[in-house]
Amino acid sequence: MSIGLGHWLAVALGGGLGAMGRLWVVHQVNRLQGGHFPWGTLTVNAVGSFIIGLAFVFFAIKHTDLSSGWRSFLIVGVLGAFTTFSSFALESLVLLQEHHYLSAALYMAGSVLICLMAVALGFGAGKLIF
């Protein structure tokens, strides 16, 4: 199966929007929270996990007739750029290197557990809404 130009453009546009959204949210949350704990990244990963749960139900279960271009735009583009697992990994490493072991452990465990719960909540909400 080849990927058409429309999908590439949908992912590119969605990715630009998602990256800008991530920058804004991370900046706003970190500005409010301060400190060395990466609250902004945790926030975008949790919000993105919730939204991907909703989107999965919407596109894969309830509205399978919608264009796969819309799925590519939202899930691969917007949410792929909005969530920041690579940033999570880097920030975890930095916390460890700076000997913030408790913060690192809480951040790593919290990210996994909170995002898993958020995607489950999004999935459940999607089943109720859509």
User: Which residues define the annotated binding site for Na(+)?
Assistant: 80, 83
120: Cβ contacts below 8 Å, ≥ 6 apart: 53
Q: Binding site: what residues are annotated?
A: 80, 83
Eight-class DSSP state of 78 = I
- Tokens found for residue 85: 């697992």
What's the Cα-to-Cα distance from 90 to each of 23, 27, 38, 96, rounded to whole Å?
16, 17, 11, 10
What's the Cα-to-Cα distance from 32 to each of 26, 28, 29, 35, 90, rounded to whole Å?
10, 6, 5, 10, 22
Continuous segment of H or E residues that includes residue 56: helix 39-56
